[in-house]
A and B are shown apart, each in its own frame.
Chain A
Amino acid sequence: GAVVSQHPSWVICKSGTSVKIECRSLDFQATTMFWYRQFPKQSLMLMATSNEGSKATYEQGVEKDKFLINHASLTLSTLTVTSAHPEDSSFYICSAPPVGHTASGANVLTFGAGSRLTVL
């Protein structure tokens, strides 16, 4: 089946540093990648949608200069949290709709394993 590899699984960093999270589609081409953030006991919140070869689309309220998204190729999308602060501590998850993996015509998202970021 379709697999999205996400790393690092967890990262602890000091306030003010930048952290890069990578998501790779291993056996399919991901022209689109969704980036979510999830705080404890809360819903998945879509941050942005990256598209290979074009600029990412950010959701309202998400700072594009703070959360840099790059979709470098059909198999790699990255999220860089710049100048991280404790309030950025969260679970970040990427997901992609692999072509051909459908349920009654709908694209079923394949999720990466998630990256837990803790900013001290």
Chain B
Amino acid sequence: GQNIDQPTEMTATEGAIVQINCTYQTSGFNGLFWYQQHAGEAPTFLSYNVLDGLEEKGRFSSFLSRSKGYSYLLLKELQMKDSASYLCAVSNSNYQLIWGAGTKLIIKP
């Protein structure tokens, strides 16, 4: 079967750094997405990785290792507004998006 695993919940302190991990097993691979979803709202796009390595975009970075079926999202200089769920999604060989259940990130002052 196909599955995406990510931690259910994480807690971090304002101003700190947090890393959210995602491991996947899918039928084929055409890229991995990270989305941010605030409670009661639709997801918004954060990043996309299709090659191994680190993609940096401001305070957010995303890393991919295809051989390990592993990705992480790194959030630096955490702000209270970063409190949200972070969804990992993989595009498989049919370009279908397989979604993780999301990691709820709680930021404390």
Identify the A interface with B (CB < 8 A): 6, 34, 41-46, 91, 93, 95, 103-106, 108-109, 111-114, 116
Contact = CB atoms under 8 A, between A and B. Distances in A.
Given A43-B102, A44-B99, A105 B50 contact: yes
A85 B97 CA distance: 28
A109 to B, nearest CB: 7
B11 interface: no
Contacts of A113: 41-42
Contact of A46 (B50, B87, B96): B96
B8 to A, nearest CB: 8
A84 B47 CA distance: 36
Contacts of A114: 40-42
21 contacts: A34-B97, A41-B8, A41-B101, A41-B104, A43-B4, A44-B43, A93-B42, A103-B47, A104-B31, A104-B50, A106-B30, A106-B31, A106-B48, A106-B50, A108-B45, A111-B42, A111-B43, A114-B40, A114-B41, A114-B42, A116-B40
